[in-house]
Amino acid sequence: MTDSSHEGVHHAWWKEAAVYQIYPASFKDSNGDGIGDIPGINSKLDYIKSLGVDIVWICPCYKSPKVDMGYDVSDYKDIDEQYGTMADIDKLIDGLHARGMKLVMDMVINHTSDQHEWFKSAVSSKDSPYRDYYIWKKPKISETGEKCPPNNWLSAFSGSVWEYDEKSGEYYFHLFAKEQPDLNWENPKVRQEVYDIIRFWLNKGVDGFRMDAINFISKEQSYPDAPISDPSSKYQNGAMYYASGPRLHEYLSEIGQILNQYNAFSVGEMAHVFDPNEIIKVVGFTRNELNMIFQFELTDIDMGPAGKFSPKAWTPTQFRNIANKWQVFMQENDGWNALFLENHDSGRSVSRFVKHRPEFRSVAAKMLATFIGLQSGTIFIYQGEELGLANMPKSWQISRYKDLETLNYYRQLLHDVASQDALDIAMGEFQKKARDHARLPFQWDSSPFAGFSTVQPWIDVNDDYREWNAALQVNDPLSVFNYWRSILDLRQTYKDVLVYGKFELVATTHEDVCAYERSFGSQVALVVASFSDSTVNWTVPLNFLKPGKWMLSNYADGSPLQPEMVLRPYEAFMYLLSN
């Protein structure tokens, strides 16, 4: 490793990187079947490069029946026909490397598809050598003599985590859909198989992984019932028994050893954990587990106690405080943040974290970019976020939603004969947070189907593609695209202060303004972002009233720093003090 320590912060190449996330089915269709594919990605590498990112993360494109859009893998060492071939992946690796970028693949190893050879064999007989690759339990017998699931845990996609297998009279365990059985990591053979898959891709030239649901791989082996947190449901959140299980760190250090041998990039997905003391065990610099993880405290701010589709009101102050909590904690504990507001699992940030005001959509997208993009951490941009793409229109009916998370939840409500009110609430939440929004076809230009495909795509194109697309933005200096470019550019030019510098909140009492300072030695950057859709007054703290330079502003005529500022709707800027 070539890392060195500078002003107390360890340097590392992956801290300086910006990552672009691609959802293959929705990025670019090359062969006119309405589904995005790898050759499609290969045809857009110059576009990606022009944004200024260093790493491309592609969501799964392994062989899969695609019950969960590829997060149900049936062969980890092959590419799904729908997405292309191994040769296409080789081209992608070469194409990125030739442009000085890296490729990160999505590693889905908490579970497989039920169509994986291992699972097919495991269900075929209790004596299968693969039976123990999965988690099997005998039924619980109720007082009335009925067979019941072994415990009350709720699956991420509604219903029980247990699925009954008639043939063997046992249940198998699945945290996600029943077609996604969890692997039994207690079995050393499973771990060897998984490590072999990891090496296979690293040997192919892949530069690292985004590790799907990685904190769920170790489960409390007694599988106790979870406490009742949602009295209206038969099933309860059991995360306390699997989100940071007893052997998690043992497994992650085994993975970390392999990754280290290749100097590979790693980011893990770590849902349901909000205690930074748990997370630092994974991302502490000297722990050698993972480089960084996605924790969801910030982006789950609008999720109520009964889960993703239950409503919750929130304020910009809370938003700011959560960001601050993780910034300060990581810098004090030699950890590292993954910064993101969007991914393939939720709604678009301009449709979630700011009010729907079409006239301010562009400034609001830039404000959010400023807020997240200049914090300390590795920045992740989800395809289309760089254009300020938005959720599908509210007028779209449930029939236009395609994702199983949304549809299972909706079907469960219908099955429970939920009231019209409950259905309306759910629909309102789908309009904000459903995964479908992020999965709408990428908007390349104003030609039919947004230049994504030559035919009707697998999921509808958003109505706004003629006004909101890449072709219009790339050459417009005031576009959201070029704003993101400036942010990534600033992070490179002022690496000391913007990558390695200290983070500190400024003027913490203002209701709508999030302001923070980044500093490194005598260099100081002030970052201000207003979350209000009207004008607000903001008093600049005295210590910033020094000569300096406007580096970035989301209004064409950025107002100079002065003691009493009137910030326009969603105004945001960065100012570099010239000490």
Task: Indicate which residues carry an active-site annotation.
Answer: 212, 269
71 makes contact, choosing from ligand GLC, Ca ion, none, with CB < 5 to 8 Å by partner type, with ligand GLC
Q: Are 136 and 164 in contact (CB under 8 A)?
A: no
31 makes contact, choosing from ligand GLC, Ca ion, none, with CB < 5 to 8 Å by partner type, with Ca ion
d(CA 207, CA 204) in angstroms, rounded, equals 9
Note whether 207 binds ligand GLC by CB under 6 A: no
d(CA 436, CA 433) in angstroms, rounded, equals 8
3-state class (DSSP) for residue 93: helix
Q: Which is nearer to Ca ion, 24 or 268 (CB)?
A: 24
In terms of Cα–Cα distance, which of 339, 368, 342 is closest to 355? 368
Exposure of 167 by Cβ count < 10 A (0-12 exposed, 13-18 middle, 19+ buried)?
exposed
Minimum distance from CB of 299 to ligand GLC (Å)?
12
213 makes contact, choosing from Ca ion, ligand GLC, none, with CB < 5 to 8 Å by partner type, with ligand GLC
Q: Are 410 and 398 in contact (CB under 8 A)?
A: yes
**Interface segment toward Ca ion; rule CB under 5 A; list 29-37, 429-437, 492-500, 559-567:** 29-37
Note whether 213 binds ligand GLC by CB under 6 A: yes
Binding mask 357-396 for ligand GLC (x = CB under 6 A): ----------------------------------------
In terms of Cα–Cα distance, which of 44, 45, 31, 21 is closest to 83? 31
Sites for ligand GLC among residues 70-99 (CB under 6 A): 71
Q: Which is nearer to ligand GLC, 170 or 269 (CB)?
A: 269
Say what angle helices 188-204 and 248-261 make with each other, to 10 degrees: 30
Minimum distance from CB of 48 to ligand GLC (Å)?
21
Q: Which is nearer to ligand GLC, 38 or 108 (CB)?
A: 108
54 makes contact, choosing from ligand GLC, Ca ion, none, with CB < 5 to 8 Å by partner type, with none
The pair phi, psi for residue 293, each rounded to 5°, is -135, 160
Minimum distance from CB of 44 to Ca ion (Å)?
13
**How far, in Å, are 4, 98, 463 from residue 521 at the CA level?**
17, 36, 49
108 makes contact, choosing from Ca ion, ligand GLC, none, with CB < 5 to 8 Å by partner type, with ligand GLC
d(CA 491, CA 499) in angstroms, rounded, equals 6
Q: Which is nearer to ligand GLC, 308 or 432 (CB)?
A: 308
Q: Are 174 and 213 in contact (CB under 8 A)?
A: no
Q: Which is nearer to Ca ion, 29 or 54 (CB)?
A: 29
Binding mask 36-75 for Ca ion (x = CB under 5 A): -x--------------------------------------
Out of 18, 35, 61, 211, the only residue in the binding site for Ca ion (CB under 5 A) is 35
Note whether 68 binds ligand GLC by CB under 6 A: yes
Q: Which residue's CB atom is positioned nearest to ligand GLC?
A: 71
Distance in Å from the first CA to the final CA of the chain: 34
d(CA 159, CA 177) in angstroms, rounded, equals 9
In terms of Cα–Cα distance, which of 73, 76, 110 is closest to 214? 110
434 makes contact, choosing from ligand GLC, Ca ion, none, with CB < 5 to 8 Å by partner type, with none
Q: Which is nearer to ligand GLC, 53 or 73 (CB)?
A: 73
Minimum distance from CB of 564 to ligand GLC (Å)?
45
Minimum distance from CB of 465 to ligand GLC (Å)?
24
Q: Which is nearer to ligand GLC, 360 or 442 (CB)?
A: 442
- Provide the strand spans (E) within 121-214: 136-137, 140-141, 147-148, 162-165, 170-173, 208-211
- Contacts of 12 by beta carbon, 8 Å cutoff, 6+ apart: 1, 3, 291
**Interface segment toward Ca ion; rule CB under 5 A; list 27-35, 57-65, 277-285, 496-504:** 27-35
In terms of Cα–Cα distance, which of 560, 206, 579, 175 is closest to 405? 175
Note whether 436 binds ligand GLC by CB under 6 A: no
Judged by the rule CB under 5 A, the positions of this chain that interact with Ca ion are 29, 31, 33, 35, 37
Judged by the rule CB under 6 A, the positions of this chain that interact with ligand GLC are 68, 71, 108, 176, 212-213, 269, 344-345
